[in-house]
Structure formats: structure tokens, C-alpha cells
Amino acid sequence: MVGEHSARVHEEPVSFWRRYIFSTDHKVIGIQYYLTAMAMALVGGTLAMLIRLQLGWPEAKWPLLAKIFPRGMSGGVMNPDFYLALITMHGTLMIFFVISLGLVSGFGNYLLPLHIGARDMAFPFLNMLSYWTVVPACVIILASFFVEGGAAASGWTAYPPLSAVEQAVPGSGLGQTLWLLGMALFIASFTMGGLNFVTTILNERTRGMSMMRLPLFIWTLLIASILGLLAFPPLTAAAILLLFDRHGGTSFFLPSGLYFGERVLPHSGGSPLLWQHLFWFLGHPEVYVLILPALGIALDLLPPFTRKPIFGYRLTVYSLFAIGVLSMIVWGHHMFVSGMNPYVGEFFAIGTLAITIPSAIIGFNLIASLWGARLQLRTPALFALGAIAFFGTGGLGGIFLGNATSDIQLHDTYFVVGHFHFMIGGVTLLALFGGTYYWFPKMFGRMMSERLGKLHFWLTFLSFYAVFLTQHFLGLGGMPRRYYAFSKFEFLAPIRDMNAFISIAAFVLGAAQLIFLVNFFWSLFRGARAEQNPWRATTLEWVAPTPPPHGNWGETVPEVHRWPYDYSVPGAPEDFTPQTVPPTVVTVTQ
Amino acid sequence: MNQAAKSAGIESVWRGGISPFAVSWRKLMMWLFIITDGLLFAGLLAGYGFVRLASPRWPNRAEIFHLDFIALMTFILITSSATMATAVGAARQGRPKTVVRFLLLTILGGLSFLGCQAYEWSKLIGEGARLSTNPWGVPLFSAAFFIITGFHGSHVLTGVLILSIVAVRALRQRVSPEGVELAGLYWHFVDLVWVFIFTLFYLI
């Protein structure tokens, strides 16, 4: 069995299809995931622009858009149902199909075996299967825009009864069913990927790569995969029950006494709260599935550009575990206003505030890593620093939302939108970009343009603050989220016009991403050739040839003698000591 | 931790079996899958518990099911776990004929269980139970019943298929002791889930 397995890894497929399309090579699969996420991000980003267009100028007419979206923008004015579909699909696409796919599956697949010194994942075939399960999921989710009634419109949280009663809104029809099917396929794919990640990290490390010598990105991937594996199945159960509610006539999520038109619906006995519990049992750990790998990338991008070890490695690992455990028992903080016993609310509030402790430890470790640094402000470093800033800003907002007393005031306002985007939109996006600038030379053998990269960073960073910090203040002013327009609310009149400013900033943010796309594809073909280790970094992937061949390491698998953060070791010949340098040459610090 | 990694050669590191869990990658994967799948049932059972607690009344199971019959089904399934354990033991000792014989007995147990379940379903459907309605007053009772037992039944069916594949491979002497053990892990898991369903749905 063993021989068979490693022999299969060594064989390099020759045909185009086996090599680039149905490949079992983790590097090809990682890049496939990454490009898929990029395509989905274009769709999700366009939806965001349309949302901002509506919120910024709710009464304006856009005749040009009427031609592109004849149904959703008939007469040039956005249809309210179309708006609801836009926010639902923007959330779903960005959370599950952009950040999950790009950050966790994309970078995870590409880097995991390279970081731990393996030749491939534990189950290469399962890996391929997991990618080719998510492709139909993407197609189904995107197809839901074109069916009768349009895409799902019950929010990315798919709360019943909107999502359970087919007649509720136009998007509750076929669009919602396709949403559920797409999510089911996504969960199946993510489960396969997660099983593969955990097994690979625990069992395929090369000689000398003890758990405490893993790069922190791998630690965050491990915790994130475990969280995903534990949290997604209850959502699958909820999705199964919801499908039965929609098509089997059951009423798990539907109470009695629901009216549609003049008619009483035949449901009885269920409760929409059940969905909220099952959904948030996934939903809360899911945000850590996304943000932990982002923090992992930020942590790993700092040492090569500060030329010093990361601060507090062990404490970061312990904090990751603490976050993982706590995140499973705090889902109720999304439901403070849904109606729950105040004592239960108190339990969830205390648990949530307890999470701030390990999160703050990681935040402080990030900042302390800058102490005494010889900082080189290359593009990846800028993005890592930006991610720290976003993490701090978003984290402060989180303290208000985790506390039941203030959350009841802020619930369902733009404060939540602002906070969530800083954490899951901001930290993850900056990590995704920073990681791209950093590992692009390894992936494609060419450098990305520094000048365009820095322009991309500053435009993204500043416009992001303009959009989402401003939204915090709208939320404090009581502006509710998910509303189609605010023109009819008198109490919002003083702050209503800030939406136009936010929209303009959002368009700048959107345009800045085009710079990234140009940079990515231009560098892919025209970028300067990269050396094997352009950042003079210590981790294993820089020991592999550029781009790494099939099986990653050629004849012999590297042996690890030290932790991944040996920068500026006193007495070492250079200011970085790769993990493969034996203790006879440079003393081992960890 | 470091010691274990250092004393192991590259090849043994590659197949796993070292710290932190001294198991092979295949077995680790199976355990992880079982945890995941267990949580799926946990979600379904938690949903069932939620609607049942929220319901002012719940039908008396003793009047609807023949609990003796359900107990017999449970007995059959648990016995099949015992025959499976024997097959795993025989595979470790390298007795392929015993492996095949006890795998077949396990498959027989699984099929009998499925037969019993089919009988029970058809009986209830004959009495008018549907996903959306039933004669006992609480519609969600039959909905939860069909979904939970149906989901478990599909797991048993999958298990029977997996065991059949393992049996065919064992007949051709193309299965490792660990392969039998992995199938056994899954089978015991399916049985364990049934114990929970039996307790939470039928007894309590």
C-alpha cells in the first residue's frame, strides 16, 4: 500500500487533460481553486457595485443597466426583489465561493504539502474530486440568477420562512432550491478537502517537521479544517430538513398560522428558531474557518520582511486552539434578538467576550513581531500590515456586538455590516492579496509588479476604511441593513446622504481590484523572472525548484532541522536560515 | 514529539503512524469522516429534539410501533457488529476464509435490518403516515421518523455495499487487514448511531 501510494505520486501525467484539468497534483488543484475563486469574486464584486449603486442613489434611473438586466432593472430602476437577490448572492458568493475557495482551498492546497515537506496530499484523488464537486456548485449557484423568480433572496443566512415557503418572495422559488443544492455540493467538497487537510498535516510531515515546527499558516489551516469538519454537518442536516420543508410538505421550520394571500398554509409545529440555531452553529465557526488562515498568512508574511522571528509562536498556537474551542459554543450571539432566555444570552455573551482574549493575544503577537524589525515595505508586507490594522478595527467593533446589551441596539444595522466586512471581507481579502504577491513567484516563476502592487494596496486600504468605517457610524445612527432604500425614513434623513459617499468609495475599491487583475495577468506572462528564493525566506517551499515539479522535491524529500522563523540568528552566515540547514552549520533555536 | 519524528525514517513518516496520533493516514481519515458524519446525525437528532420539546404533545410510540420488533432489529444490527469484529480479528490473524464467512454474515445482518425497516415503513405508510401528515395528530412526528430512519437506512445500505466490495476483494485475497478494519469502523459507527436513534426516538 505504502509503496503504491508514493510511487503514484512520482509518476508525472503526460496528457493535457490529466495534467491541467483532471489533475491530482495539489499545486494544479490549488491554482484551479484560486482561479475559480477569482472568477466568482468578479461576479460577487459586480453584485456589490450594483448594491452600492442602489443605496447611493435610490431614486436615480440607469437606462443602460435596464438593457443588461431587463428583469431586475426594468425601466432603469432596480426592482426590490432583485436587490434582495443581490445582497443574498453577494454574501453567499463572497463567503463560500471566494474566501473559502481562494484562501482555504486555494492557498491551502498549493502550500500545505510544500510547507510540510510532503510530495502531495494524503488523498490526491479525493482532492481532485473535491475540486470537481465545487465546480458544479459554482455553476448551479450562478445559474440561479437565470431561473424564474431569480436567485435566492432570503439573505446569505437563508432564514425561514422566506427560504422555506416557496411563495414568499420571487427568489424563494427555484432560486432558493438551487441555492440549497449549490451549498450542499459546496459542503460536500469542503468536507472532502478538510478531511484531506487534517490527515495530511497530521500524518505526512517530513522527517524532523514536528508539530511545533510547522509554519503558523499550517496551524491555522489545521484548526480551520477541524472547525469546518465539525461545523458543516449540522448545516447539512438543516439544509436537508429545509429541502423537506420546501418540497416534502414537512414543517420543521414553519409554525402554524402562516398566511399567504387569503390562504392559511398547512404547516404546523415547527420553529424558524431551529434553523437559526443550526445555521449559526455552522455560521459562527465558519467565520473562524475564514479568518484564521488569513491571520496565518499575515503571521507568515511578517518574518521575511521584518527579518526577525515571529513573536510568541507557542502562545499563538495555544490561542488558535482556544479560539477553535470557544467558537463552537458562542453561536447564540447572532440570536440575541431572536428571543432567548436572558441567562442563555448571558452565557453566549460571556463566551463571545472570552474569545477576544485569544484573538487579542494573536493581534498583539502580530504587532510585537514588528518590534525592533528591519522593516522592508514590499507589497506583501504592506498587505500583512493592512490585515493587522483591519483585524484591530474589526475586532473593536466585535466587542460591541458580542455583548448582548449593546447588540440588541446594533443588531441588523450597518454596524454589523461594517464589522463583518472588516473581519471577513477585509482581513481575509488583504491576506489573499498579500499571499498572492508573496507566493506568485513560487507558483508561476515570475515576480508581480511592485509599483502596481503598492498602488493596489493603498487604494484598497484607504477606500476600504472609507466604506466600512463609515458604515459603523450609519449603524450607530440606527440605519438597518438589507433595506432597499432609506428615503422614506425621517429619522435617517441626517445621515442618509453618507450613502452616496460610501458608494463612491466602494467604486474606488472595486476599480482598485482591476489593477490587481491587470498586474496578475500581465506578470503571468511579462513579469521579471523570479529566483528560487526571492524573499530570502526560510520555509520549505523556497527550497523546492521554481515552479515546483510534480512530486515537489525531485529525488529526496527535504529534512527539517529547525522551526520556520530562524531570521537573523547570531553567528549564521546569512540573516535567514532555511529549515533544511543542519544544526552543525547554524545552531537550532527551536 | 521530536524524538518520534527523528527516529522514524522518511518512508515511515510518509505513511504516517507517528505522533501526534500513531495511526495510518487512511485510518485517521476514516475517524475524521466518522466524526463529521456523526455530527450530521447529531444535527438531525437535535432538530428532532427541538421540534419535539416545542410540541405540546407527542404520540405514544408504544401504540404506534411494535417495540419488540424494533428491539429485534436492534439486536440483529448489534449482532452484525459482533460478526464484523470477528472478521476484523480474522483478517489480522491472516485467515481469509473466516474473513469472507463473517463478512457475509455481517452483510446478511445488514440486509435483514434493512428488510425489517422496509416492513416497518410500509406498515406505517399503510396506516396513513406521510412526510406531511399522519393519523396520530402531530405531523412532525412522522416527518422526523421518515427522515431520521431513512437517513440511517441509507447509511446501512452504503455499509452493505462497502462490505460487499470488501468481501469480493477478500475472496480474491486483495484486501489488507487494515482495509477490513476501516470498513468495520464505518459499520460499528452506523450501528452506534442506531443505538442513539433507538433510544432517543423509540424509547424516550
Find the length of chain A: 590
Boundaries of domain holding A116:
24-214
| Mean pLDDT on B152-173 | 95
- Say if B2 falls within a structural domain: no
- What pLDDT sits at residue B2? 38
Q: Calculate how close chain B gets to A541, using CA atoms only, in Å.
A: 18
Last residue of a domain, one of A166, A189, A214: A214
Last residue of a domain, one of A197, A214, A231: A214
Question: Is the Cβ of B1 closer than 8 Å to some Cβ of chain A?
Answer: yes
Contacts of A474 (CB under 8 A, 6+ apart): A413, A414, A415, A418, A495, A498, A499, A502
Count: domains in chain A? 2
- Say if B6 falls within a structural domain: no
Written as nine digits, the cell of B37 is 458524519
For the stretch A527-549, what's the b/e string if a residue is b when 16 or more beta carbons lie within 10 angstroms of its beta carbon?
A: beebeebbbebbbbbbbbebebe
DSSP string for residues in A257-286: --EETTEE-S--S--HHHHHHHHHHHHHHH
**What's the pLDDT tens digit per position in B94-112?**
999 999 999 999 999 999 9
Q: Could you tell me which of A265, A25, A271, A19 has the C-alpha nearest to residue A127?
A: A25
Residue A249 and residue A242 in contact, taking contact as beta carbons nearer than 8 Å: no
Distance CA A143, CA A151 (A): 8
- Say if B158 falls within a structural domain: yes
Contacts of A425 (CB under 8 A, 6+ apart): A94, A464, A468
Contacts of B93 (CB under 8 A, 6+ apart): none
Contacts of A551 (CB under 8 A, 6+ apart): A9, A10, A12, A119, A120
Q: Could you tell me which of A382, A215, A219 has the C-alpha nearest to residue A300?
A: A215
Say whether B35 sits in a helix, a strand or coil. Answer: helix
Q: Calculate how close chain A gets to B115, using CA atoms only, in Å.
A: 24
Say whether A41 sits in a helix, a strand or coil. Answer: helix
- Say if A4 falls within a structural domain: no
For residue B131, give the chain A residue with the closest CA: A250
The domain that holds B104 is classified in CATH as 1.20.120.80
Distance CA A533, CA A541 (A): 9
Distance CA A499, CA A54 (A): 10
- The rounded average pLDDT for each run of 10 residues, N- to C-terminus, in chain A (590 residues) is 41 80 94 97 97 92 89 89 95 96 96 93 94 97 92 93 89 93 95 94 89 95 95 93 93 90 87 93 92 97 95 96 95 90 91 94 95 93 97 94 92 96 95 97 95 97 97 95 91 92 97 97 95 94 92 87 92 91 84
- Say if A467 falls within a structural domain: no
The domain that holds A121 is classified in CATH as 1.20.210.10
- What pLDDT sits at residue A196? 95
Q: Do A233 and B43 touch (CB under 8 A)?
A: yes
Last residue of a domain, one of A214, A240, A259: A214
- Say if A281 falls within a structural domain: no
- Say if B196 falls within a structural domain: yes
Which residues in chain A touch residue B8, judged by CB atoms under 8 angstroms apart?
A: 207
- What pLDDT sits at residue B5? 38
Q: How many CB pairs under 8 A join A and B?
A: 160
DSSP string for residues in A460-494: HHHHHHHHHHHHHHHHHTTPBTT-S--TT-GGGHH
Q: Would you say the ipTM is above 0.95?
A: no
- What pLDDT sits at residue A13? 75
- Say if B29 falls within a structural domain: yes
Written as nine digits, the cell of A177 is 432550491
Q: Of all residues in chain B, what percent carry a pLDDT higher than 90?
A: 75
- Say if B101 falls within a structural domain: yes
Q: How far apart are the first and last CA of chain B?
A: 46
Does B187 have pLDDT greater than 50? Answer: yes
Distance CA A45, CA A40 (A): 8
DSSP string for residues in B107-156: HHHHHHHHHHHHHHHHHHHHTT--SS--TTS-HHHHHHHHHHHHHHHHHH
Q: Do A204 and B14 touch (CB under 8 A)?
A: yes
Q: Do B43 and A278 touch (CB under 8 A)?
A: yes
Please state the φ and ψ torsions of residue B16, each to the nearest 5 degrees.
85, -150
For chain B positions 141-160, those within 8 Å of chain A (CB to CB) are 143, 147, 151
Q: Do A206 and B17 touch (CB under 8 A)?
A: no
Question: Is the Cβ of B19 closer than 8 Å to some Cβ of chain A?
Answer: yes
Count: domains in chain B? 1
Q: Could you tell me which of A505, A478, A442 has the C-alpha nearest to residue A107?
A: A442
B25 vs A204, A250, A266: nearest CB: A204
Rg (C-alpha) for chain A, rounded Å, is 24
- Say if A145 falls within a structural domain: yes
Distance CA A508, CA A501 (A): 11
Boundaries of domain holding B77:
24-203
Distance CA A80, CA A86 (A): 10
Residue A217 and residue A111 in contact, taking contact as beta carbons nearer than 8 Å: yes
- What pLDDT sits at residue A11? 65
Residue A141 and residue A92 in contact, taking contact as beta carbons nearer than 8 Å: yes
B138 vs A191, A269, A278: nearest CB: A269
A209 vs B5, B23, B133: nearest CB: B5
For residue A559, give the chain B residue with the closest CA: B10
- Say if B52 falls within a structural domain: yes
- Say if A330 falls within a structural domain: no
Query: Choosing among B14, B18, B31, B181, which should be mutated to test the A contact, i.e. which has the most A CBs within 10 A?
Result: B14
Q: What share of chain A is helix, strand, coil (3-state, %, to 5)?
A: 65, 0, 30
For chain B positions 21-80, those within 8 Å of chain A (CB to CB) are 21, 23-25, 28-29, 32-33, 35-44, 46-47, 50-51, 54-55
Written as nine digits, the cell of A551 is 512530486
A1 vs B40, B41, B176: nearest CB: B176
- Say if A365 falls within a structural domain: no
Higher pLDDT: B20 or B35? It is B35
- Say if B1 falls within a structural domain: no
- Say if A49 falls within a structural domain: yes
- Say if A578 falls within a structural domain: yes
Distance CA A118, CA A112 (A): 8
